[in-house]
Structure 1
Amino acid sequence: MSTTHTAEETRRLGVETTGIEIIDEAERTATPKDLFWPWFAANVSVFGISYGSYVLGFGISFWQSVVVTVVGVVLSFVLCGLIAIAGKRGSAPTMILSRAAFGVTGQKVPGVISWLVSIGWETFLAIMATLATATVFKELGWSSGTAVKIIAMVVVAALIVLASVAGYHIIMRLQSYLTWITGIATVVYIALTLGHVDWSAVSALPSGSFQSVIGALTMVMTGFGLGWINIAADWSRYQQRSASGGSIVVWNTVGGALAPTLLVIYGLLLGGSDQKLMDGIAADPIGTLATILPTWFLVPFLIAVILSLVSGAVLGIYSSGLTLLSLGVRIPRPSAALIDGIILTLGTIYVVFFAESFLGPFQSFLITLGVPLAAWAGIMIADLTVRRKDYDWGPHGADALFDARGRYGSVDWLSIATMVVASLIGWGLVINTFSDQASWNDWQGYLLGPLGLGGKDGAWAYANLGVLAALVLSFLVTLVGRRGTIARQESGAAA
């Protein structure tokens, strides 16, 4: 009785007690348009402007960059929206629903990769928020030493951890407020810096090669929608049964893609106008973006940047906690989020105060994990394309997502093999762009020579074909190879 009483009191405070279990019918009250707020808030960040310089860094023209930005951002969030349909169909976290494709036990393979990617990216966002505080304080002429970094880190970590522990309902309310705060601050930033745009310099940028365009496109897709794809269903699992799958894709895409598309295009204008600014953004995005602002707006700018980075980190830590539970860790959901929050905090402390060279190797590690994550996404999207019924269709069907003896079985060896082979091919078609700091990753790119793509120094080396190859190959294999398996699953037969 005391445990039930405690759970009820917790829910009254707005804290989500639901973990990885199927959401009850009575709690499925969300509508597709509700998806706009968390995705928009997590992506309406001034930091997105820096991607304009990253895109131009591939040596392509402004108009080529605009096409790359629009196609890359929108397409990547459409893929996110497709995964979000699984949340409505199964009312469970993304990695639990992934068991239908990989098996109840086999899901741990992509689950571990998903957990590492989520923890990694959200730690990176916390680091950026902490360092941004010191940078803006320096611009203001204030103290920017160790004490400032400690205070900033404590505030940032506390915001992320408390919100992620509170769970879905509080996060959804929080994101609706953050959308307005960060959105308004971003509009003001653009208004104050519009005078730095030099159209003659922007329009004079020379066109780049086809390979460079593909490389920039892959980077944009990976940096935006594909970076969120492993948690997309976590935010749609409270959708009503009657919700339209098409509407879920649309609102997920609009919420995620609207702000980044506009911000990256503005970043193209800023970076293309000033080579020095573009070079500075590549090394220190937050600090460089702050240098072109009037002093009076630096504090509001800092608040907006921190809130936008925290907003993205909250979504990731919440979902990484769910992924941790899907791997078999038997603790309450708030405790799982707290554990991941502690890991995030320790990682931030290490990087900010002790690491001499970390961000380069860290990003190299995350890029490497991006290839198998793309392979997983291809398998899941193909699975959803073939599947016609909800995951918990029929009597006791939902139990199968938690029972290795049920219709989804223990391990789907075709999915595991597809992910492994697609990843090996993908790694052979990407190169380590942080070789000077992470030489241990130089083994990548081993297929660029044998396939006649010019080797690691050729024109295709920086096109990052491996991410797209892993995504497309795994999709096609699953689309053809698992039709019979999915049909048996939907008939209710045990694996």
Structure 2
Amino acid sequence: MTDTTRPTDVTGARRAGIETTGIEIIAESERTARPVDLFWPWFAANVSVFGLSYAAFILYFGISFWQGVLVAVVGIVVSFLLCGIIAIAGKRGSAPTMILSRAAFGVNGQKLPGVLSWLVSIGWETFLSILAVLATATVFDRLGWGGGTGTKIVAAAVVAALIVSASVAGYHLIMRMQAVLTWLTGAVSIVYILMTVDDVDWDAVSAIPSGSTQSVIGALVMVMTGFGLGWINIAADWSRYQRRDAANGGIVFWNTFGGALAPVLLVCFGLALAGSSAEILDGVAADPIGTLATLLPTWFLVPFLLAAVLALVSGAVLGIYSSGLTLLSLGVRIPRPAAAFIDGVILTIGTIYVVFFAENFINPFQSFLITLGVPLAGWAGIMIADIALRKRDYDDDALFDARGRYGAVDWVSVGTLVAVSLIGWGLVINTFSDDASWNNWQGYLLEPLGLGGKDGAWAFANLGVLAALVLGFAVAYLARRTTVARQEA
């Protein structure tokens, strides 16, 4: 049984300003994008000054400035490189990531990672919306315009409206919007660095002691999860409009370069900034962007706020657009704009709850990130193995037919995802037990494997994410070789 239809009037929808194409295969005439076009959405979504605050999270692992730089460069670049590999599937199949994943998991089996992907996307876009609202309130308070409840209500409404309207409009408007935001947010980020470079105390930065190997690995995994792995489940959504003859190497490069360039620069500078001041280091835990704004002169606060909020909105737009596509891939039969709107309502409710009622959101969010990061890494390993094994484009019809060559359920992939997730969860711990007690069950393999238990040094290395990624790839690559060859025969 097929579960969707082909697009009928994509060009007309594009002229009207609304993309109605959902999870259908993109028409051949619409595949006009070039690899270099991928730079704009990935750069714009990751140029946010929020990247500076990740430096504080890195230093909380108890590592030195130079260890932090190593972690930032390797973690960010490698994680976006993995996104670039997933993006190859978008060119091969011209469909959303979670539809293309059916080739690895089966048309019905894909619902398991599909639900996971939807939760991750909803979580990320809500998180970015929350940061935008809190940043607005902090800057308004600094300007003397009032940063209380009224400001937060207006900010939440405006931010939600911007995110939902752009997501509903779809791919073509988003691509144009991202190209503009790239220049705006990039310029403001450069000015911010120039205006705060005097706040760097190199003596204090140099005095930060080095941390253990376990701490470096833990920080590395956190960075990978927070950057590239946080986007990997939607990577093919933005490459599905690529020309069929686009070079795979070009797609990987521009995806990686666009996604990693700004975060690497911002996090490295943030390491110097946060390492200079305990006040900045601790302030980002409650309000990352608001804390960074306290270093600026009053006259620059409005441009800073505008760029910061728009950058966060940019990232949330990518998330909600893709979460809408994922919702459709799960079998929800509504138009794509309606799916984006539904996710926008969920985003708004989540933002209101956290901003007005929750006492702490950073700690529960990081716990949530690591928990979902384990199976997401396992899915990524399986998907990358599937891409590496395939030599031909996807069978368009079979992606929507459980009786086709990809079948209803690929039990090897599904079983592998479940197994590596269970292994991965056993190798991570909930470091925020007071704020996320629902996650205290993790880390059950640390003692049996001789890694010191939940209180040992390896407990904070977050090995479970790397284990799920590597094991997912290795098992799928070895166990599914014959299956993929048969499918492509």
Q: Deviations over 1:385-411 (max 9, x none)?
A: 11111112xxxxx11000000000000
| Residue equivalent to 2:371 | 368
Does the alignment pair 1:383 with 2:359? no
Displacement of 1:24 = 0.8
| Residue equivalent to 1:429 | 427
Tell me, in whole angstroms, the C-alpha distance in 2 between the residues paired with 1:7 and 1:183.
Answer: 32
Give the 3-state SS of the residue equivalent to 2:285 in structure 1: helix
Displacement of 1:176 = 0.3
| Residue equivalent to 2:440 | 442
Displacement of 1:33 = 0.1
* Structure 1 residue identity aligned to 2:435: Q
State the TM-score, normalized to the length of structure 1: 0.96
Does the alignment pair 1:238 with 2:241? yes
| Residue equivalent to 1:129 | 132
| Residue equivalent to 1:174 | 177
Q: Which segment is superposed worse, 227-236 or 358-367?
A: 358-367
Q: Deviations over 1:418-472 (max 9, x none)?
A: 0000000000000002100111210000011111111111001110000000000
Does the alignment pair 1:161 with 2:164? yes
* Structure 1 residue identity aligned to 2:421: S
| Residue equivalent to 2:483 | 485
Does the alignment pair 1:115 with 2:118? yes
Report the CA distance shift for 1:355/1:386 in structure 2 as closer, same or farther (over 3 A): same
Displacement of 1:365 = 2.5
Give the 3-state SS of the residue equivalent to 1:282 in structure 2: coil
| Residue equivalent to 2:143 | 140
Q: Deviations over 1:334-368 (max 9, x none)?
A: 11111111111111112222334555334423321
Give the 3-state SS of the residue equivalent to 1:419 in structure 2: helix
Give the 5 Å matches for 1:388-403: 388-392=391-395, 398-403=396-401
Tell me, in whole angstroms, the C-alpha distance in 1 between the residues paired with 2:289 and 2:115.
Answer: 31
* Structure 2 residue identity aligned to 1:468: L
* Structure 2 residue identity aligned to 1:311: S
Does the alignment pair 1:18 with 2:21? yes
Displacement of 1:6 = 9.1
Tell me, in whole angstroms, the C-alpha distance in 2 between the residues paired with 1:365 and 1:234.
Answer: 24
Displacement of 1:15 = 1.4
Displacement of 1:13 = 2.3
Does the alignment pair 1:71 with 2:69? no
* Structure 1 residue identity aligned to 2:14: R
State whether residues 286 and 362 of structure 2, in contact with CA within 8 Å, keep that contact through their aligned partners in structure 1. no
Does the alignment pair 1:228 with 2:231? yes
| Residue equivalent to 1:206 | 209
State whether residues 131 and 287 of structure 2, in contact with CA within 8 Å, keep that contact through their aligned partners in structure 1. no
Tell me, in whole angstroms, the C-alpha distance in 1 between the residues paired with 2:9 and 2:112.
Answer: 35
* Structure 1 residue identity aligned to 2:334: I
Could you tell me which runs of 5 or more consecutive residues in structure 2 were left unpaired when the two chains were aligned.
1-6
Displacement of 1:485 = 0.4
Tell me, in whole angstroms, the C-alpha distance in 2 between the residues paired with 1:6 and 1:49.
Answer: 43
Tell me, in whole angstroms, the C-alpha distance in 1 between the residues paired with 2:203 and 2:134.
Answer: 34
Q: Which segment is superposed worse, 359-368 or 175-184?
A: 359-368
Tell me, in whole angstroms, the C-alpha distance in 1 between the residues paired with 2:228 and 2:266.
Answer: 15
Give the 5 Å matches for 1:2-401: 10-392=13-395, 398-401=396-399
Tell me, in whole angstroms, the C-alpha distance in 2 between the residues paired with 1:141 and 1:242.
Answer: 55
Q: Which segment is superposed worse, 344-353 or 213-222?
A: 344-353
Report the CA distance shift for 1:449/1:318 in structure 2 as closer, same or farther (over 3 A): same
1:459 to 444, 457, 460: 457
Tell me, in whole angstroms, the C-alpha distance in 1 between the residues paired with 2:416 and 2:60.
Answer: 33
Report the CA distance shift for 1:87/1:106 in structure 2 as closer, same or farther (over 3 A): same
State whether residues 168 and 321 of structure 2, in contact with CA within 8 Å, keep that contact through their aligned partners in structure 1. yes
State whether residues 286 and 360 of structure 2, in contact with CA within 8 Å, keep that contact through their aligned partners in structure 1. no
Report the CA distance shift for 1:134/1:342 in structure 2 as closer, same or farther (over 3 A): same
Displacement of 1:141 = 2.0
Give the 3-state SS of the residue equivalent to 2:244 in structure 1: coil
Could you tell me which runs of 5 or more consecutive residues in structure 1 were left unpaired when the two chains were aligned.
393-397
Tell me, in whole angstroms, the C-alpha distance in 1 between the residues paired with 2:359 and 2:278.
Answer: 27
* Structure 1 residue identity aligned to 2:284: I
Q: Which segment is superposed worse, 296-305 or 400-409?
A: 296-305
* Structure 2 residue identity aligned to 1:99: R
Task: State the number of aligned residues.
Answer: 483
* Structure 2 residue identity aligned to 1:486: V
Report the CA distance shift for 1:358/1:61 in structure 2 as closer, same or farther (over 3 A): closer
Q: Which segment is superposed worse, 79-88 or 344-353?
A: 344-353
* Structure 2 residue identity aligned to 1:228: W
Report the CA distance shift for 1:168/1:5 in structure 2 as closer, same or farther (over 3 A): closer
- Percent identity of equivalent pairs: 76
Give the 3-state SS of the residue equivalent to 1:460 in structure 2: helix
Tell me, in whole angstroms, the C-alpha distance in 1 between the residues paired with 2:258 and 2:43.
Answer: 4
Displacement of 1:370 = 1.1
Tell me, in whole angstroms, the C-alpha distance in 1 between the residues paired with 2:176 and 2:147.
Answer: 33
Tell me, in whole angstroms, the C-alpha distance in 2 between the residues paired with 1:485 and 1:255.
Answer: 34
Tell me, in whole angstroms, the C-alpha distance in 2 between the residues paired with 1:375 and 1:451.
Answer: 20
Report the CA distance shift for 1:5/1:113 in structure 2 as closer, same or farther (over 3 A): closer
* Structure 2 residue identity aligned to 1:476: A
